[in-house]
Structure 1
Amino acid sequence: MANSDSSTDPSVIHDDDPSRRDVILIGAGAFAAIGGAAALWPLLDQMNPDASTLSLASIEVDLAPVEEGQAITVMWRGKPIFIRHRTAEEVDAAKDVKLNDLPDQLARNANLADTALATDENRAATDKEPWLVMIGICTHLGCIPQGQAVGSYKGEYGGWYCPCHGSQYDTAGRIRKGPAPENMYIPPYAFTSDTKIKIG
Structure 2
Amino acid sequence: MALSTTDVDISAIKPGQSVTVVWRGKPVFVRHRLPEEIADAAKVNTADLREPETDTQRAKKPEWLVLIGVCTHLGCVPLGQKPADPKGEFGGWFCPCHGSHYDTSGRIRKGPAPSNLPVPPYQFTTDTTVRIG
Category of TM-score, reference length = shorter chain: over 0.9
Aligned residues: 133
Greater share of residues in strand: 2
- 1:151 paired residue number: 84
Displaced runs of 4+ in structure 1, greater than 6 A?
Answer: none
- 1:140 paired residue number: 73
Distance 2:108 2:44 in 1: 12
Deviations 1:58-92 (A, max 9, x none): 01110000000000000000000000000000000
Distance 2:12 2:94 in 1: 25
Distance 1:155 1:83 in 2: 18
Displacement after TM superposition at 1:151 (Å)? 1.4
Distance 2:89 2:13 in 1: 24
Higher relative contact order (CA closer than 8 Å, sequence separation 6+): 2
Greater share of residues in helix: 1
Q: How large is the RMSD of aligned CA atoms in angstroms?
A: 1.0
- 2:94 paired residue number: 161
Match status 1:119 vs 2:40: no
One-letter amino acid of the structure 1 residue matched with residue 76 of structure 2 = C
Distance 2:112 2:9 in 1: 34
Match status 1:74 vs 2:21: yes
Which structure: larger Rg?
1
Displacement after TM superposition at 1:195 (Å)? 0.8
Distance 1:59 1:80 in 2: 11
Partner SS, residue 192 of structure 1? strand
Normalising by structure 1, report the TM-score: 0.65
Deviations 1:113-132 (A, max 9, x none): xxxxx10100112xx21100
